[in-house]
Amino acid sequence: MKQWLHTDRIIAPSLLAADFGRIKEETTRAIHSGGDWLHLDVMDGNFVDNISFGPAIIQAIHETNDVFLDVHLMISRPDHYLPRFVEAGADMITVHLEAEHDVAETLRRTREAGCKAGLAINPATPLEKALPFLDQIDMLLVMTVVPGFGGQSFMHETMAKVEAAVTHREKNDLNYHIQVDGGIDAATAPIAATAGANVFVAGSSTFRAPDMAEAIQQIRQA
Ligand code: DX5
Ligand code: ZN
């Protein structure tokens, strides 16, 4: 097993852009095309203006393969639903700082349940608000679009937060991954990589590419 923080890029295709009528085949396609993790966007129609899928779908995916399940909870009460996602087979659970919960307590419970703990911040949320929690996480997700929908444009202005998160990590000898999510493709991945991100979520640019393996390879090498 690789040490947690390493320099290789991790590519996480987002299932939100898959054909929902063929979820299991789409999962297999992402793995066979070279996806390192599978990114699963859970939306409750309240925290964000969209509804996607919940623990039952995640469990079905978990039962068919061993890929690392990176669960991104865009829900108002992640603390309430946390045990159901643990039970469903999530490997990492990322919760939003902006949701209604005791953030430190949710992160603590996530790790106690044996999952990696991620913390997400929206484009409008300054990194300063996340600083008190960065010693309690395995990954910081810097949203590069306003969450809710796939297919939006990458927001360059969020890169200052990625750079500041790298500086903070070095200064404090921490080891969280830095993930970017939204509008990531072969053109924007190098911008985020230069800023210091190492985990790249990509929905439209992978699942909807004519050749998914080539698209993932391009994001990895760009
Ligand atoms: C946005 C989601 C993303 C989404 C990214 O709210 O968190 O994970 O799937 O989609 P693309 O890569 O199409 O911007
Ligand atoms: Zn996401």
Domain contains 64 = yes
Question: Where in the sequence is the domain holding 23, given as residue range(s)?
Answer: 10-221
**148 C-beta closer than 6 A to ligand 1:** yes
pTM of the model: 0.98
43 in a domain, yes or no? yes
Closest CA to ligand 1's atom 10 = 150
CATH number, position 192: 3.20.20.70
Give the three-state DSSP class for 181: strand
Residue 150 lies in a domain: yes
Which pLDDT band holds residue 194 (cuts at 50, 70, 90)? very high
Number of compact structural domains in the chain: 1
Which residues contact residue 208 at a Cβ distance below 8 angstroms, ignoring those fewer than 6 apart? 17
Q: Is 185 a catalytic residue?
A: no
Q: What is the pLDDT of residue 1?
A: 55
12-38: average pLDDT: 98
Can you give the C-alpha Rg of the chain in angstroms? Answer: 16
Closest Cα partner for 197 from 188, 209, 205, 206? Answer: 188
Pocket-testing residue among 142, 149, 154, ligand 1, by greatest number of atoms within 8 A of Cβ: 149
